[in-house]
Amino acid sequence: MYLAIKEMKHAKLRYSLIMFMIVLISYLIFVLTGLAYGLSESNRQAIDSWQADAIVLNSDADSHLSQSVITKNQLAKLKSDDRLAQLGELGVTARDPKGHKKVSSELLGISKNQFIYQQLTTISGRKFNSQHEAVVDKSMYDSGYRLGDEIYLSSDSPAYKIVGFTKDAKLSVAPVIYTSLSDWRDIKFGATSDGQVSAVLLKKNQLNQKADDLDQLTTEEFINKLPGYRAQNLTFGFMIAFLMLITLIIIAIFLYILTMQKLPYFAVLKAQGISTKYLVKNTVGQSILVTVSGVLVGGGITVLTAIGLPPAVPITFNYPLLAGAACLLVVMSVIGALIPARTIVKVDPVSMIGGN
């Protein structure tokens, strides 16, 4: 590493430029990874919090929760079991009595006797336990709602009282409002309410009883079929993968040019008995040093960005994931350095004899 460090100190501008490129790329990768993870989480947080293994939907719903209605008769085909939890879903616009704080939300009706309610935890307040009470996602707090506030979920529904805030409760990027199944039915069906639900969640990945008009999906299958979820993850995945590839290409080209300029010196060093391994190690070491420094600065800027971003931005910095992306960048830098390293292996010290 002696040669590597000395050269970097001597050619500060040259190496600062490549480091600056790595800073920008790593920053972009970190932000995109944060956005990808944040959006992914915003889609699936609530589902993950239920810790269910499978979901049963009406077979006509094409695996979409919002399209699914399971009737009382269909429900009767499923044996009652404490590993089942009924769920009602309705997209609503929550508003305060004055109509100033409108929030597009997911209203979820759950039963007090089943596992979703039992697993529900609040970060402030309590769980709902009577009619017209609701537990809402903490992002509603950022929208101006407080414990005890009244909230309207449809134009003709009565006021609901916020009795608790819960965390990690977003579904399809909208905050979740938990209320009882009966309240949900009142809002969704009104007078035609007749014991329907949107879905049934299963703790065990097995229906108690087969039903022709019901579909069962694993939780992961269900999540992957959330509208836009897969397309969004693929888009971010491709962007991150291309940035990784760009990093590899930038490092490879940069080091290749530098290595070509240094080949006569490498040839002389080899003639003087300095091993090829030592010279390759220095080149790879340079690449790692530049990348690690760039990634650290990029990481620092990412942390500052995270502090400065408003809560509305769906970005979540999962540090193990970011560390993984950083490691992948370093791996790319090593691969990028091995490309010019081939020319070091090939350079023949004999070429320097005879004044060539």
Partner 1 sequence: MHAIEMKHIIKSFGKGIGKVSALNDINFHADYGQLIAIVGPSGSGKSTFLAIAGGLLTPSSGEMMIENQTYHNSSAKDREQVRLNKIGFILQSYNLIPYLTVEEQFRLVDKVKRTPNLNPEHVQQIEKQLGIDDLRKKYPDELSGGQRQRVAVARALYADPKVILADEPTASLDSDRAFEVMRLFKELAHTTNKAIIVVTHDRRLAQFTDQIYEITDGRIQQLESA
Looking at the chain, how many residues does it have? 356
Contact residue for partner 1 among 3, 75, 153, 214 (CB under 8 A): 3
Interface with partner 1 by CB under 8 A: which range of 161-169, 298-306, 313-321, 342-350?
A: 342-350
Q: Where is 94: in which H helix or E strand? A: strand 84-94
**Opening angle at CA 227, ends 152 and 62, nearest 5:** 100
Q: Are 299 and 326 in contact (CB under 8 A)?
A: yes
353 binds partner 1 (CB under 8 A): yes
- The set of residues, in sequence order, having a beta carbon less than 8 Å from that of 322 and lying 6+ positions away, is 30, 33, 34, 299, 302
289 binds partner 1 (CB under 8 A): no
Interface with partner 1 by CB under 8 A: which range of 3-11, 121-129, 189-197, 330-338?
A: 3-11
- In sequence order, the β-bridge partners of residue 317 are none
For the bound state, the minimum distance from the C-beta of residue 352 to partner 1, rounded and expressed in Å, comes to 5
Contact residue for partner 1 among 258, 274, 292, 338 (CB under 8 A): 274
Which of 234, 332, 261, 343 has the alpha carbon at shortest distance from 292?
332
99 vs 273, beta carbon nearer partner 1: 273
Contact residue for partner 1 among 206, 275, 323, 342 (CB under 8 A): 275
244 vs 268, beta carbon nearer partner 1: 268
Contact residue for partner 1 among 99, 148, 310, 354 (CB under 8 A): 354
Contact residue for partner 1 among 80, 155, 192, 272 (CB under 8 A): 272
159 binds partner 1 (CB under 8 A): no
Contact residue for partner 1 among 147, 223, 271, 334 (CB under 8 A): 271
349 binds partner 1 (CB under 8 A): yes
- What whole-number distance in Å separates Cα of residue 299 and Cα of residue 134? 39
Interface with partner 1 by CB under 8 A: which range of 200-208, 210-218, 233-241, 347-355?
A: 347-355
For the bound state, the minimum distance from the C-beta of residue 339 to partner 1, rounded and expressed in Å, comes to 22
For the bound state, the minimum distance from the C-beta of residue 14 to partner 1, rounded and expressed in Å, comes to 10
Q: Are 192 and 65 in contact (CB under 8 A)?
A: no
12 binds partner 1 (CB under 8 A): no
Which of 86, 82, 50, 54 has the alpha carbon at shortest distance from 69?
86
- Residue 38: CB atoms within 10 Å: 19
Interface with partner 1 by CB under 8 A: which range of 156-164, 244-252, 262-270, 284-292?
A: 262-270
- What whole-number distance in Å separates Cα of residue 42 and Cα of residue 170? 5
Contact residue for partner 1 among 268, 297, 330, 338 (CB under 8 A): 268
11 binds partner 1 (CB under 8 A): yes
308 vs 354, beta carbon nearer partner 1: 354
Structure tokens at 58: 């009406």
Here the contacts of 167-170 (C-beta below 8 Å, separation 24 or greater) are 167/121, 167/123, 167/137, 167/138, 168/41, 168/45, 168/46, 168/48, 168/49, 169/45, 169/46, 169/49, 169/136, 169/137, 169/138, 170/41, 170/42, 170/43, 170/45, 170/46, 170/106, 170/137, 170/139
For the bound state, the minimum distance from the C-beta of residue 1 to partner 1, rounded and expressed in Å, comes to 9
Give the binding site for partner 1 (CB under 8 A): 2-3, 6-7, 9-11, 264-265, 267-275, 278, 348-350, 352-355
